A and B are shown apart, each in its own frame.
Chain A
Amino acid sequence: MEAIDPIVFRFSIFVLAIFVGYYVVWSVTPALHTPLMSVTNAISSVIVVGALIAVSVAVGSSVESSATSWISKGLGFFALILASVNIFGGFLVTSRMLAMYRKKEKK
C-alpha cells in the first residue's frame, strides 16, 4: 500500500479542529462573547511561530543568497513585534475583562 501524503493528515486535523471549535464556541456563554473575541485573537497570534522561524534564518550558510535571508529576517522581525503586541495585549486584556465578572455577594 502506498504511503499517505502528510498533507492528508494535516487536513484531517484541520477538519476535526473545526468541529471541536464549533462545539466549544457554541458552549461559550453570550455574556463572555467579548472576551471570546479577544482570546481568539490572542491565540491566533501563535503565528509568532512563523515569525520566529523567519527571524532565525541563518545568513550565508543556507542555499539562498544572504540578501533574501536578510529580507526574511527583516519581515520576520516586524511580524514578531506585531504578534507580540497581540499575544501580550490579547491575553492581558482578556484577563482584565474576566476579572470584572462578579456574582451577587451573598449577604
Chain B
Amino acid sequence: MKADLAALAYLVSGVLFILALRGLSSPVTSRAGNNRGMLGMAIAVVTTLWVANVVDQLTWGMIVVGIGIGGLIGAIIARRIAMTQMPQLVAAFHSLVGLAAVLVAGAALYSPSAYGIGSEGAIHTQSLIEMSLGLAIGAITFAGSLIAFAKLNGNMSGAPIILPARHLLNLLIFAAIVALIVFFVMHQPYWAFWTIAGLSFVFGITMIIPIGGADMPVVISMLNSYSGWAAAGIGFTLENTALIITGALVGSSGAILSYIMCKGMNRSFISVILGGFGGEVAVAGKAETRPVKQGSADDAAFIMKNAGSVIIVPGYGMAVAQAQHAVREMADKLKKEGVKVSYAIHPVAGRMPGHMNVLLAEANVPYDEVFELEDINSAFAQTDVAYVIGANDVTNPAAKSNPQSPIFGMPVLDVEKAKTVLFVKRGMGSGYAGIENELFYRDNTMMLFGDAKKMTEEIVKALG
C-alpha cells in the first residue's frame, strides 16, 4: 500500500516537472512553471523520506546535514554567479549530476536489498544492466562536464587537444567498457564495477578535450542530455517513476538543444563530437593588408543618432567584455532620439543556447525588442544601421556565397543588407572559424576598434 501511494506521489512529481518545462514557452508563464518544478522536487523528497522510514538519529543527522551543506552551497552559488558565467555553471552542475549517478549506482551495488534489487552478490540481471548504464553514462557526464567547465572558465585552453590515434583510442576504451559491462552483469565482481567507472571517466575526458571552445554550446547540450539518460538508468534500477520520467524529459531536452545548435552552425553532430575544429588561425601567408574604413565612437554616435532604425547584433565578445549594460544604455539614448532599436540573436551566439538573451535580460533589455534570426533577418534590408558587437562568424556572407568556406551553409544574419554596418572588434583577428570576413572591407562598413565595453560607453557619452 505504501509503495503504491509513493509511486503515485512520484507520478505527481513527474507531472509537475513536465509543467515546469511547459511554463518556459513564454516569460509570462515561466516563473509559475519553475515554482511547480520546485513543488515536484519537494514531493519527491518528502515521499522518499516517508518510505525510507528512518528511525535512528545518526541517519537523520546525515540527511539534514547533507541537504543543509548542499543547499547552502547551491544557494550561495545561485545568488552570486554572474550571468556571463552561466555556461560554466551549467557545465559544473551537470558534472555533479553525473557523479551523483555514479555514487547512487555504487550504493545500490553494496546494499541491493535496500533498493529491492536482490541481495549482495545476487542482484537481478536486469538491475545490473540498468545500474551499469546509469554508472557508465554518469561517469562520462561527470568527466566530460568537468572538461567543458575548464574550457569555458578559462582553466583550459579552448583549442582542441588532439591525442595521437584518438579515434582508435576512443574506440578501444568504448569496447572495453562494453565488454566489462557484459562481464559485470554475468559475474558481479566489485572490481569490474569500479573499473567501468574509471574507464567511463577516462572516456568522458578523451571525448571532450578535442572539441574547441566555441563548439561548447553543442557539448553542454549533449552533456545535459546524457545526464538525463544517466538519471533514467538509475530510475530503472530504483524502479522510480519520477526518475524515469525526469530522465526522459532531460534526455530529450538536451538532444533537441544539441540539434538546434548544430543546425545553427550547419555542422553535423558527429563532426562536432569528433572534434578538431577551430582554435588555430590556419590562414598562412596571406597577410591581408586591404584597407578598412575605421571610425571613432563620435562617428558611430553621429551615424546612429541620425538613423531611423538600428539593429544590434551581440556576440560572445559582448559577453566577455561585459558590455551588455553599456549596450542597453546606448539603446535607451537612441530610443530617446526616436531611433527604433531591436536586437538580432543568432542561435549559436555566445557559449550556450539562449546565452545572449539572458545577458540582455540582465541588462534590462525588454524581451519584446529581442528577436531570433528567422524573425528578424528580413528586416536588415530596411534598417539603417547594424551594430555588430563581439560577433563575427555569424555575420559572414561567405556562408552564403563561398562553397569552399568551412562555414558554408550555416545560417547567418544578413547584416550586409543594412545601409551601414558598424563592427565593434578588438582588432582584425578572425573569429572562431579562423576565416576572413568580407564584410570588413565593404564600403558601407565601418570598423570600431577597441574593447566592446569601452567603445560602447564612449558612444553613450558621445550621444550626450
Residues on A facing B (Cβ under 8 Å): 6-7, 10, 13-15, 17-18, 20-22, 24-58, 62-65, 68-69, 71-73, 75-105
Total number of B residues with any Cβ neighbor in A under 8 Å:
116
Contact B30 A101 (CB under 8 A): yes
Residues on B facing A (Cβ under 8 Å): 10, 13-14, 17-18, 20-22, 24-27, 30-31, 34, 37-38, 40-41, 44-45, 48-49, 52-54, 56, 59, 62-63, 66-75, 77-79, 81, 83, 86, 89-90, 93-94, 96-97, 99-101, 103-104, 106-108, 110-115, 119-120, 126, 220-221, 224, 227-228, 231-232, 234, 236-254, 256-257, 260, 345, 347, 352-355, 357-358, 361-362, 364, 366-370, 372
A53 partner residues in chain B, CB cutoff 8 A: 48, 52, 107, 114-115, 238
Contact A95 B120 (CB under 8 A): no
Contact A72 B34 (CB under 8 A): no
Contact B63 A56 (CB under 8 A): yes
B103 partner residues in chain A, CB cutoff 8 A: 51, 54, 75-76, 78-79, 82
Interface of A is mostly: helix
**Given A31-B27, A44-B231: A24 touches B249 (CB 8 Å cut-off):** yes
Residue of B nearest to A45 (CB): B97
Partner of A50 from B99, B126, B243, B354 at Cβ < 8 Å: B243
Q: Which 4 A-B pairs have the closest CB atoms?
A: A84-B70, A33-B354, A89-B74, A21-B252
Contact A34 B86 (CB under 8 A): yes
In the bound complex, CA of A43 to CA of B454 (Å) = 40
Interface of B is mostly: helix
Q: Would you list 19 pairs from A and B whose C-beta atoms are within 8 A, ordered by A residue?
A: A7-B126, A7-B236, A10-B241, A15-B248, A25-B256, A30-B260, A36-B257, A47-B231, A48-B48, A53-B48, A53-B114, A54-B104, A55-B59, A64-B120, A76-B104, A79-B104, A88-B75, A89-B74, A92-B78
B70 partner residues in chain A, CB cutoff 8 A: 80-88
**Given A25-B253, A55-B59: A38 touches B22 (CB 8 Å cut-off):** no
Contact A13 B241 (CB under 8 A): yes
Contact B107 A72 (CB under 8 A): yes
